[in-house]
Structure formats: structure tokens, C-alpha cells
Amino acid sequence: MQIANANRLTPYLFLAPAALVMTVALLYPIGYMIYASFLDWNPSQRIGEAEFVGLRNYINLLSDAAFLESFFVTLKFAAVVVSIEMVLGVGLALLLDRNIRGMSVLRTLFILPMMIAPIVVGLMWRYMYHPSVGIFNRTLKSLGFEPIPWLSDGSWAFASVVIADIWQWTPFIFILSLAALQSLPQSAMEAARIDGATGWRQIVYIKLPLMMPVLIVTLLLRLIDAFKVLEVILVLTNGGPGLSTEILSLRISRTASEFRELGEAAAMSNYLLILLVILTFAMFAYNKAVEARTARLRKAAQEGS
């Protein structure tokens, strides 16, 4: 009895150090941030000196036009980039899922953008978007078109950061889709060909439905990431012109460093955190639902046989 108990405790004993480190390294900062969001806290004060203001920061933010604007920009940015990236990534995967010579080289090339550090991507695109010496405007000029105010006009600036993000993150969706495609049951695909589904119809009726579980998880992962975007936009536009590209992470960093409102910045972070937690739970819930369904089907099959 004693030994059995000890045996059952062993795994927890071994996990304890890791759990401790996790708690300190992960929960402490989060707890700190949550606590800070209830303070009116100026960076020149120590945290103990800051005044406790309850939910005031949260309530203030709800009527803060600049915060709402930046929240909206973030939503718009995430929605636009993820939609376009999904279409392009899945489309490319469908296009390149064949065994032609040179295809593996092509696939590798498509994955490269994802591997570049975001800061570098930002710098690279900033040079390309440069109003006079950037490749885009030079090309336009040599073709006899007007130059485009890539980063200096509100709408164009938004489009520019969207394009840079798509360039960098479409590969992510591409490789996951390609992996999903290549693990589809080959014989079902052949059966579909014999049944008369070729080209588009095979994609619509067989491939996409079978890829759907992977696509949904990919979409949620990408969405979570898109809400946290920072570096590329920081380098490209730093949120401007005006507030046209000021996504939440930028707003948070400015609130903390420029406006010196640590409490408010923490409250903003928590709003973002809540959004991300909802998305993450959506993803887990979806995975659980899929697992439960598979288990139910398997059980039914065993009963049927």
C-alpha cells in the first residue's frame, strides 16, 4: 500500500522542479502584469508606491479613442493577412503537391521568408518601399507610372505592412497545408479520379474536406500570431502615418515608454491576452472535439463488427 502510493507519487516528484521553474518564470510575470493593471503607476515610482485604482485603467481604455482605433487596426490587420495567407498558402500547396523534377527546390525556396528574422524582414521591405530609391517606385517610374506613397499615406501604409506580413507568413500555411495534402489517403484520391473527380472537383469534394482539421488549427495558430505582430510594423511605419498602422503591441509599448502609463499599458496587454486566450481555447476545444469524434466513430465500428 505504502509502496504503491510512493510509486504513484514518483512522476510528480520528478516533475516538481520543472513545475517550479515554470511557475516562477511564467506565472510570476503574468501575475505581476495583472497586478500592475490595477495601479496608476509611473515608471519613476517603485511598484509599492503606485496608487491602487481598481478597474479604472480598464474602464478608461474602453472610452479611449486611440486605444479603440488601435484595437480595430489590429483586428483588421489580423483578419486581412490571415485570410489572404490562407488562400495563397493552401493554393500554393495544392499547386505544388506533385512530383515534378525541381519541385523540392521550389518548395524549399517558398519556405525561406519564414526563416528570416522579422526585424530583417522589416528593414528589407523598408528599403524596397523607399519613396525614391526603393525597387517598387523605381520600377513604376521606369515604366512611366506615378510613384506610390507606400509608407507615407494611411491606406497605402496599411496595405504595405499587410503585403510584408503575407510575404513572410504565407510559407507557414503553405508547409502545413502541403504536409496535410501529402498525408491524405492516396487510394481515396485515386478512387475519386475513377469516380470522375478531377482537378477542381477533386480539390473541392475530397482534398479540402480531408485537410480541414489541419487547416482550422493552422488558421487559429496564425491568427494568434497575427494579433501579436510587432517588429515588421515597428520598423516599417512605427504605427504611422497617424494611427493607420498602429497595432496593439505598438500602442502598448508607446503607452509604457512614451506616455509613461505602466498601469494602463498592463491593462491593454490584458485585453490582448484575453483575446488570445479565447483563440487558444477555441483551438483546444476544436482538437478535443475532433478527438472525441474519432473515438466515438472507432467505438461504433467495434460494436458494429
Provide the binding-site residues for another protein, judged by CB under 8 A: 185, 187-188, 190-198, 201, 205-206, 209-210, 212, 294, 297-298, 300-302, 304-305
CA 242 – CA 126 distance, rounded (Å):
18
CA dist., res. 84 & res. 110, Å (int): 16
Beta carbon nearer to another protein, 116 or 191: 191
Measured CA distances, 66 to 76, 176, 251 (Å): 15, 37, 9
Please, which residue, 54 or 304, has the CB nearer to another protein? 304
Taking the complex as a whole, the smallest distance from the CB of residue 197 to another protein amounts, in Å, to: 6
**To the nearest whole angstrom, how small is the minimum distance from the Cβ of residue 222 to another protein?**
23
Residue closer to another protein by CB (options 260, 298) is: 298
Distance of closest approach, residue 248 Cβ to another protein, in angstroms: 38
Residue 180, C-alpha cell as written in the block: 496535410
Cβ-proximal residues to 241 (8 Å cutoff; 6+ apart), any chain: 151, 152, 153, 154, 157
DSSP-based three-state secondary structure for 305: coil
Q: How far apart are CA 154 and CA 245, in angstroms?
A: 8
Residue ranges with strand state E in 153-244: none
Query: Is the Cβ of residue 33 or residue 203 nearer to another protein in the bound state?
Result: 203
Q: What are phi and psi of 281, to 5 degrees?
A: -65, -35
User: Nearest distance from residue 190's CB to another protein, in Å?
Assistant: 5
Q: Three-state SS for 144?
A: coil
Kindly tell me which of 24 and 295 has the beta carbon lying closer to another protein: 295
For the bound state, the minimum distance from the C-beta of residue 286 to another protein, rounded and expressed in Å, comes to 16
- Smallest separation (angstroms) from another protein to the CB of 206: 6
Task: Indicate the residue among 152 and 202 with the shorter CB distance to another protein.
Answer: 202
